[in-house]
A and B are shown apart, each in its own frame.
Chain A
Amino acid sequence: MNEPQTLTFNVGPHHSAAIGPFRIKVETDGEMVLAGEPDVGYLHRGIEKVAERMSWTGFMPYTDRVDYLSAIHCNLAYALAVESLAGIAVPPRASCIRVLAGELNRIGSHLLSLGHLAQQLGAGTALLYSLRDREKINNLFEMLCGARLTYSYVRIGGVAADVTEGFIEKTYEFLEYLLPKLKEYHDLLSNNRIFMGRLANVGIVTQAMAVDCGLTGPTLRAAGMKFDVRKNAAYCGYQKFDFNVPTGNGEVGSVGDAFDRYIVRMREIDQAVSIIKQALDALPEGAFSTPLPRLFKAPKGEAYAAVESPRGLFGVYVCSSGEKNPERVRFRTPSFPVLNLFPDILKNVPVSDVATIIGSLDIMVSEVDR
């Protein structure tokens, strides 16, 4: 008798499963995956090292590149950390605009994620539908700050510019436009038997696994834990907004499966729409930024700030030695701990589900590698 042989595949680095170059060495026996080992670093740019050579304010555009799908949250986490270190008070209008921009960005990121997941399952049409709606968000951002992807809109002390004329009306219009489209997604995907069948009981991440591996965001919430930085450690005045934290409850399969992660994201879009409405209704008057000195130097010390990015807890640790450039900037990104999950989650799953699992975990490679 011959020894049973296994076949080793490379899923990636150029595979559509993850957004960005991401390689998984997969060992298979026929259709079954026995083990999967991630290999990352294809997008490593050494942003943390770059920070040591940049000025405090000049580093802001680099934070966009940490997670270019939710650049506002990366800007925001860095700005919050530096502000708390330097003791800068942010005007209420700036905080409200930050919430507004952050939630818009969250919708955009979740839309892309859902389209991407659908594309993994062969429903490329849903991707184009979601890109159509994300395009509107990009237009809004272009109106707000001139950039469509890497915004650098949130600055230390506030935001780069006040909301432009007509932005508020356009945003209301967009929300009116989006609500029927969300129903369209539910008709096309959420209530689709094939879609449910492909996602149910696939890639189950239990609460214990998620906490052990350090996962946050929709993955942790889909596992049933109501953990959201916006509620647990509110920043930017999130405590003033009325919103729910949706959690997964295993509607079509078990708690914490791929469908739960998908549906939690869909429901977060609903919540984000409600937050944006509240922010638009109650946008305070006043300054949009606190002016900084020409040569800004953060005082000696260290600080940490965390925000809830679309993928989870996004934290920035800054350490200053009182110089004009940071001593150390550390990004705690929500996609990075997903690497810890791989030995378990890709064990005894069909090859077809590898892409589904990675897509549903919403791994952003630029944020894993930094």
Chain B
Amino acid sequence: METRELVHRIEQTFKEGVISASDEGLFPNVLIQAEALKPVISFCVHDSLMRFDFLECLSGMDTGEEMIVIYQLYSTAFSHRLNVKVSIGRHSAKVSSVTGFWRAAAAYELEAAEMFGITFEGHPAPRHLLLPDDWQGHPLRKDYVFPEEYHDIEHRRPPLRKEHARP
């Protein structure tokens, strides 16, 4: 199916869940509400015309106002792709886990959880993946403050000198 048709199919099936959809451009995607995630993903995986069996990438994103989780889906049967975005609040960022649909999601969700502080409800084994277990904060958030000390290792950034600053 064409991307346009895929986007429309989701829009028609989940009228309330879809916040916005763009069927053209560089990154055609469907932005959905957090509550609608599981039904939408389930539809994408099981619908006989979609059959998205491959999770290409799951990434988190912090726009400064909201958290977004991007699911890039691919179908090995039909060779079509679709991007699904979920918008969630910044403060209690919560979204249900999709590890039940693809095992590929497990590691991606761990990464997004520690980098953005997003809770993936229903993840089978939540833990720190890339960061140390006692790391404070979520580095990829826009409001992340770099720690100046970690286990007695000091780390201070020298102030950016004017002549080195870019115009």
Contact = CB atoms under 8 A, between A and B. Distances in A.
Given A302-B27, A369-B130, A332 B57 contact: yes
Contact of A340 (B61, B76, B107, B132): B107
Contact of A319 (B57, B61, B131): B61
A111 B91 CA distance: 48
A214 B54 contact: yes
Interface residues of B, number: 35
Contacts of A44: 130-131
Contact of B27 (A225, A227, A304, A332): A304
Contacts of A332: 56-57, 59, 72
A76 B53 CA distance: 27
Interface string B41-69: 00000000000011111010111000000
Contacts of A94: none
A304 B57 CA distance: 11
A324 B166 contact: yes
B106 interface: yes
B70 interface: yes
Given A41-B131, A295-B167, A336-B107, A315 B26 contact: no
B103 A340 contact: yes
A327 B83 CA distance: 18
Contacts, number: 88
Interface in B128-146: 128-132, 139-140, 144
Contact of B59 (A84, A227, A317): A317
A293 interface: no
Interface in A185-234: 211-214, 225, 227, 232
Given A213-B104, A301-B26, A330 B57 contact: yes
Q: Is the interface of B mostly helix, strand, loop or mixed?
A: loop
Interface residues on A, range: 35 or more
Contacts of B55: 214
A48 interface: yes
A72 B108 CA distance: 24
A49 interface: yes
Nearest to B59: A330
B140 to A, nearest CB: 6
Interface string B81-113: 001000000000000000000111011100100
Contacts of A90: none
B63 A327 contact: yes
Given A327-B63, A339-B107, A40 B76 contact: no
Given A214-B55, A214-B56, A232 B79 contact: yes
A211 B54 contact: yes
A369 B108 CA distance: 12
Contacts of A306: 56
Contact of B139 (A46, A301, A302, A330): A46
17 contacts: A41-B132, A84-B26, A212-B53, A213-B104, A214-B104, A301-B26, A303-B27, A313-B56, A315-B57, A317-B70, A324-B166, A328-B59, A328-B62, A337-B104, A339-B107, A340-B106, A369-B130
Interface of A: 40-41, 44, 46, 48-49, 55, 84-85, 211-214, 225, 227, 232, 295, 301-304, 306, 313, 315, 317, 319, 324, 327-328, 330, 332, 336-337, 339-340, 369-370
Q: 5 tightest A-B contacts by CB?
A: A214-B104, A332-B57, A41-B130, A303-B26, A339-B107
